[in-house]
Chain A
Amino acid sequence: MNRRTRRVIINGIGILVAFFFAFPVYWMVNTAFKNQEQFQTYVPVFIPSPTLDNFTKALNQPHFLDFVRNSVFVSVSTVLLALIVGFLAAVTLARVRFRGRKSFLLLVAVAQMAPFEALLIPMFLAIKDWGYNWVPTLIIIYFIFTLPFTIWSLRGFVAGIPVDLEEAAMVDGASRFGAFWRVTLPLLAPGLVATSIFCFITAWNEYLYAYTFMSEEKNYTLPVWLVSFRTNFGTDWGATMAASTLFTLPVLIFFLLVQRRMVGGLTAGAVRG
């Protein structure tokens, strides 16, 4: 086999693998735009004559706007809370040598490994008297979920900005706080955005706790609704896929923005370590 055929074969395999990953996503969007007739055949229709009927049906479900509002409210609040608390801890870890710093780092690392699936029962017992079926409860839960990663990730971003820059500003007469505010913070913006998006996606996607803690339909978040929608409208795949597409779209957009940073984020230090 000469080099050229080999290259063609390898790139051909690459295309096939890409097809394997992309096809289900394409199929979701494709199904969402199909009309009723195109569902009647066994032979699938690969390019639909697009209709928005399925989206209309999904959007007209009772309480749909409640689900969107709950999901947005919970996710955005989680981001804000985790960012404020995490930012303080991250800056301290990256910039200050204080006694107990290592123990604190260890605490964050252990918290990050907490298995939330195993903590469902005590969490439920802890919130049942005041927080059951109350949407803000989810904010607290997701805040605990996301805080360790937030600290970890922000600490890395802060540490990546040389202290020299701040010191130079201080030589020029800025206060320590002023130097941080004017010099480091703007450089930190991409890190803050990436970390926020990660927290947002985690909260937006979470299913187990939302499903367990919210009993009334009007308090559901979008993932809980999506699964129940699929169970109740089992055969209406058009509407189910339209709902899935709508739910996925914001995640996809956000994810594409930070994808490059995610690769390094979770395994930071493992290669060169």
Chain B
Amino acid sequence: MTRAQSKDKAQRGASALDVAPSRHRTSAKVIHDVLPYLAILPTIVTFVVLLGYPVLLLFETSMQKFGFYEIINHVTTWIGLQNYYDVLFRSPAGLPDFLTVLFRTIVFMLVNVALTIFLGTLVALLLERLNKWVRLILTSAMVLAWAMPVVTGAVLFQWLFDSKLGVVNWAISSLGVFGDYLNHSWFETGLTTFGVITLLIVWQAIPFVALSLYAGILSISKELPEAARVDGASERQIFRHIILPALSPLLMMLIFLSVIWDFKVFTQIYAMAQGGPDQQTMTLSVYAYVVGISDGKYGYAAAASVVMMLLLLVVLIPYIRRMIKSLEEQ
């Protein structure tokens, strides 16, 4: 018997039981049936209207000539895919090429994700080997970094790396190995500015990754690594063949989240350098903000945002698939 058939039968059975439903019971049943939908209605309205409408508006705007003139005079000029063509081949004057920004964003994201995951894994393994007190100290220190509001982090790192009175320049100079770093300016080139931004992002992201992985390691049974050790396996072999496979679903999830977070970074970059120097640290989110809000090229910025969203969607598809799969199992 197929599932549908059995369900059908069950329903018929149920209706057979309600031989003579009293009026009261019918209304109670109606309420009972309707109640769940009433309860989720506000959420549906929020997502479909408050979130769905801006998404539609994004696509709509991306196909219009929409700038300061149009916004003031309330005119709509449809121009089809012109904005997308411009995004790909004709950036507005005074702004870097969109494709350059896109490439930069992807490289930036990859570097940040790789560093976060690699160092986070190392710290998780370290946590497991520490004695109780040192572990408590390290965990507390990481929670401090993790809890920092991003805005505070951006302001704080500017101070740490301040050219004149920053403690980092003082520390490097006193080491004596790298020569005199007093008055060295970190925010003068794109690369070193990115360096500071990456340090900030990784500093704040490692705690979450490391503590999650550490919790994951603790949930692996102790017997298997113990048995392998008795059989003469090295620590490296135990990590590669026992710990890593057990952690891989969690690791995938962490990589996935990091990719999404680091691809759309805005606050760290904007609060620290506004995309400067010379727009060299402009990534997609900053670009969309500057073109759209500052320069008022709404249509163009919308098209750039659509491209950004579609790229994110590529990353999201495996996640959504997994989501659907786990829903089916429920």
Contact B147 A252 (CB under 8 A): yes
Contact B327 A106 (CB under 8 A): yes
Bound CA span A240–B327, Å:
48
Instruction: Report if B46 contacts A (CB, 8 A).
Output: yes
Segment 72-129 of A: residues with Cβ below 8 Å from B: 85-86, 88-89, 91-93, 96, 98, 102, 104-111, 113-115, 117-126, 128
Whether A207 is near chain B, meaning CB under 8 Å from some CB there, is yes
Q: Which of B163-199 contact A (CB under 8 A)?
A: 164-165, 167, 170, 182
Give every chain B residue within 8 A of A4 (Cβ-Cβ).
Answer: none
- Once A10-B126, A42-B165, A267-B212 are accepted as A-B contacts, the answer to whether A120 and B203 lie under 8 Å apart by CB is no
Picked from A15, A22, A106, the residue with its CB within 8 Å of the CB of B323 is A106
- Decide if A179 is an interface residue (CB 8 Å cutoff): no
Output the nearest chain A residue to B291 by Cβ-Cβ distance: A121
Q: Digit string of B242-279 for contact with A (CB within 8 Å is 1, else 0)?
A: 00000101101110010010001011001100000000
Contact A147 B46 (CB under 8 A): yes
Please tell me which stretch of A56-64, A181-189, A243-251 contacts chain B, meaning at least 4 of its Cβ atoms lie within 8 angstroms of it: A243-251
| Chain A window 1-23, contacts with chain B (Cβ cutoff 8 Å), 1 for yes, 0 for no | 00000010011011101111110
Determine whether the beta carbon of A27 is less than 8 Å from that of B160.
yes
B142 touches A21 (CB 8 A): yes
**Which residue in chain A gives the minimum CB-CB distance to B286?**
A117
A24 contact from B157, B165, B330, Cβ within 8 A: B157
Q: How far is the CA of A140 from the CA of B144 in the complex (A)?
A: 30
B36 contacts partner chain A, Cβ-Cβ < 8 Å: yes
Among candidates B54, B141, B160, residue contacting A21 with C-beta atoms closer than 8 Å: B141
Interface residue? B319 (CB, 8 A): yes
- A29–B144 Cα distance when bound, in Å, is 12
**Residue A35 at the B interface, CB < 8 A?**
no
Q: Flag if B211 contacts A263 (CB, 8 Å).
A: yes
A139-196: which have CB < 8 Å to B?
140, 143-144, 147, 151
Q: How far is the CB of A65 from chain B (nearest CB, A)?
A: 19
Q: Which of B1-41 contact A (CB under 8 A)?
A: 35-37, 39-40
Give the interface SS of chain B, mostly helix, strand, loop or mixed: helix
**Main SS of the interface on chain A?**
helix
Question: In chain B between 116 and 160, which residues have their CB closer than 8 angstroms to a CB of chain A?
Answer: 123, 126-127, 129-131, 134-135, 137-138, 140-160
Residue from the list A44, A117, A247 in contact with B264, Cβ < 8 A: A117
Bound form: Cα–Cα A218–B37 in Å: 41
Interface stretch, picked from B106-114, B226-234, B300-308, is: B300-308
Q: Is the CB of A120 within 8 A of B289?
A: yes
Across the interface, B57 reaches (CB within 8 A) one of A125, A237, A262, namely A125
A109 touches B323 (CB 8 A): yes
State in angstroms the CA–CA spacing of A24 and B309 once bound together. Answer: 34
Q: With contacts A104-B40, A128-B71, A244-B152 known, what are 14 further pairs, Cβ within 8 A?
A: A21-B141, A25-B145, A27-B160, A85-B43, A96-B36, A113-B312, A113-B316, A118-B308, A119-B55, A120-B305, A205-B150, A208-B270, A248-B147, A270-B253
User: What is the interface of chain A, defined by CB distance below 8 A to chain B?
Assistant: 7, 10-11, 13-15, 17-22, 24-25, 27-28, 31, 39, 42-44, 85-86, 88-89, 91-93, 96, 98, 102, 104-111, 113-115, 117-126, 128, 140, 143-144, 147, 151, 201, 204-205, 207-208, 212, 223, 226-227, 230, 237, 240-241, 244, 247-248, 251-252, 255-256, 259, 262-264, 266-267, 269-273
Which B positions have Cβ atoms within 8 angstroms of A? 35-37, 39-40, 42-44, 46-47, 50-51, 53-58, 61, 71, 123, 126-127, 129-131, 134-135, 137-138, 140-160, 162, 164-165, 167, 170, 182, 203, 206-208, 211-212, 215-216, 219, 247, 249-250, 252-254, 257, 260, 264, 266-267, 270-271, 284-285, 288-289, 292-293, 298, 301-302, 305-306, 308-309, 312, 316, 319-320, 323-324, 326-328, 330
A-B contact pairs, 22 of them (CB 8 A): A13-B126, A15-B138, A17-B123, A17-B126, A18-B141, A25-B145, A44-B170, A92-B36, A117-B264, A118-B305, A118-B309, A119-B55, A119-B58, A122-B58, A122-B61, A124-B292, A143-B46, A207-B151, A207-B266, A247-B149, A247-B152, A251-B147
